[in-house]
Amino acid sequence: MNEEILKELRSIKNLLAVEAIKGLSRKEQILILNGAGFDNKSVAQMVGTTPGTVAVAVSQEKSKRRSGKKNG
């Protein structure tokens, strides 16, 4: 596919993702976008934070889920 078309498709994908997470908390936005396959840098740009903040939120959620599975 043409590189220009791929660039446009990525832009459209990002816009749709941002629209889909409106009204959610920042942490929910981060987790949904990460779960959808966006990397930390992309997620950070979409929600207005840093890649480090995204990494921490994702790590905390993974830890919480692991703890829940052990106790559940």
Distance CA 68, CA 16 (A): 32
Domain count, the chain: 1
What is the pLDDT at residue 68? 82
Distance CA 1, CA 69 (A): 43
pLDDT bin (cut points 50, 70, 90) of residue 35 is: very high
Distance CA 29, CA 21 (A): 6
What is the pLDDT at residue 27? 95
Instruction: Give the residue numbers spanning the domain of 30.
Output: 3-71
The half-sphere exposure of 39 on its side-chain side, counting CA atoms within 13 A, is: 1
The pLDDT of 59-66, averaged and rounded, is 92
Predicted TM-score (pTM) above 0.85: no
